[in-house]
Structure 1
Amino acid sequence: MPADTKTGNPAPLGLVGFGLTTVLLSMVNAKLLPAEGEVVVIPLAFAFGGTAQLIAGLLEYREGNTFGTVAFTSYGAFWWWFGLLVIFGENGWISLDGATTTLGVALILWGVFTTYMWIATFKLNWALWSVFLLLAVTFFLLGFGDYLGIGWLGVAGGWVGLITGLDAMFVSFAEVANWAYDREVIPLGGAPLKSKSGRKTQPAD
């Protein structure tokens, strides 16, 4: 967005809220950090991954951006779901015994959702296209790892999730830098698919 506009672009906030939280959790999933470190992720999931994305989604609604509204509010709600699931389970408010298969299905469903959001990014830009593709792969690896009880799939999902989070943080950085300098200093790439007029469509944000 040009620097002289009256409203800011909420997408970088949503992207970094998602990306930073994903990086930290993925480092635990990839076994780069101890499993006990997951307790550090939970408050971050509520405060930044969850709440910041929900705020970004509401702001995207005001901007008339359907894609941004659906994406940020949905993944913000995902982090709230994840945080509540861990807290309720750890405190004994709900029993997670025997729930691994169901958890796997839940993550697979998030992969399905992310896949149809990824399809929409073909009309946005290559940067978002890559984030949603990687995120879909992450969900499927984590989901099938839990559903099938194959540990290395979860570890692989952690590594892909780490790349996904860093990718989202890069897109956030690029959008903030481009706004600050009021020009494209960090290209995000045109849309993978062209519009009917033959011109590449512009990103929604």
Structure 2
Amino acid sequence: MADLEKGTTANATGVNHSHNVYGDSTTPALRNSITSPVKNNIANPAALGLFSFASTTLILSLYNVSARGVTHPNVVVGMALFCGGLAQLLAGMWEFPKGNTFGATAFSSYGAFWLSYATIFIPGSGISEAYATDVEFINAVGIYLMTWMTVTFLLFIASLRKNIGFITLFGFLTLTFMCLGASNFVLSRGLATTGAHLGKAGGALGIITALVAYYIGLSELLAAERAAVVGLPIGVFKHD
């Protein structure tokens, strides 16, 4: 992890900057701005991002398994726009000044995902109506989901150096996107039963993903409290 990602600009070159190595023309204020650690008073946005992601994922996943007989995902549009989308995107933006490249990339990416996904189902967006046939539209959504499976798998690889919680989260999310994307491809070939089973499998995996995200989010929230009653371990790896 880079020094900036640790929340500090401590000297990584081994050079002692306590002396005026910049020359006499460098002011003390400028030297201090270069050598002093970053004072980071920004609250941890991870809990917001994880709760927003988990809640939106849970709702859509429950629809995917036909919970309470619901099969149409349109109610999730508002949630995807403002919670999974906007709130998570903001969390990602706040991860940038904290120096957390992984968190900034993940939250911003999935915030954009939910915003783009919601747009597909907004009445009047004209996206679904632009396709000549339902088969073409289903295949297009399948490609869309498989692309996000690729992004998620790349984040899964990055999470291998983070903690067990994130490994579990991105592992299940990769499988979720894979099943949902495969479901669309199978449905486009007229295999309705197999496609429905894959869709429900994706929904079940999405529910597990959401619960894992809730757990990690609560762990982050408790860790931010000075007098938390309990702490939730997420299996953080120790790096030399």
TM, length-normalised to structure 2: 0.74
Whether the 8 Å CA contact 1:101–1:148 is kept in 2: the answer is: no
SS of 1:39's equivalent in the other structure is coil
How far residue 6 of structure 1 moved from its aligned partner, in angstroms, is 2.3
5+ residue gaps, structure 1: 198-205
**TM superposition shift of 1:188:** 1.0
Q: 1:49 aligns with which of 78, 84, 91?
A: 84
Residue 134 of structure 1 is aligned with which of 172, 180, 195? 172
**Please, which of 173, 177, 181 is the counterpart of residue 143 of structure 1?**
181
- In structure 2, the residue matched to 1:188 is 234
Q: Which has the larger radius of gyration?
A: 2
Partner of 2:126: 93
Question: How far is the alpha carbon of 1:39 from its aligned partner?
Answer: 2.6
Distance in structure 2 (CA, Å) of the matches to 1:124 and 1:70: 14
Whether contact under 8 Å (2:61, 2:204) holds in the other structure is yes
Report if aligned partners of 1:60, 1:68 keep a CA contact under 8 Å in 2: yes
- 2:214 corresponds, among 166, 169, 191, to 169
User: Percent identity, aligned pairs only?
Assistant: 35
Q: Please identify runs of 4+ aligned residues in structure 1 that moved more than 2 A.
A: 181-184
Aligned residue identity for 1:132: F
| Corresponding residue to 2:141 among 103, 112, 116 | 103
Residue 51 of structure 1 deviates from its aligned partner by 0.3
1:112 corresponds to which residue? 150
The alignment status of 1:153 with 2:175, answered yes or no, reads no
1:92 CA displacement: 6.5
State the Cα distance separating 1:107 from its structure 2 match. 0.5
Instruction: Determine which of 30, 47, 63 is the counterpart of 1:28.
Output: 63
Normalised by the size of structure 1, how large is the TM-score?
0.86
- SS at structure 2 position matched to 1:62: coil
Cα distance, 1:182 vs structure 2 = 5.2
Deviation at 1:185, TM superposition (A): 1.4
Q: Aligned in 2, Cα 1:132/1:182: closer, same or farther, shift over 3 Å?
A: farther
Q: Which has the higher contact order (CA 8 A, sep 6+)?
A: 1
- Counterpart of 1:72 in structure 2: which amino acid? F
2:34 matched residue in structure 1? none
Question: Contact 1:26–1:158 at 8 Å: present in 2 too?
Answer: yes
Taking only aligned residues, the RMSD between alpha carbons, in angstroms, comes to 1.7
Taking the aligned partners of 1:40 and 1:178, their CA distance within structure 2 comes to 33
Q: CA shift at 1:178, angstroms?
A: 2.0
Match of 2:113 in 1: 78
CA distance in 2, matches of 1:63, 1:92: 36
For structure 2, the residue ranges without an aligned partner over 5 or more in a row are: 1-39, 188-194
Distance 1:165 1:188 in 2: 15
Structure (1 or 2) with the greater helix fraction? 1
Amino acid at match of 2:232: I
| 1:14-55 CA-partner distances (Å, limit 9, x unpaired) | 01100010000000001114024x232110111100001110
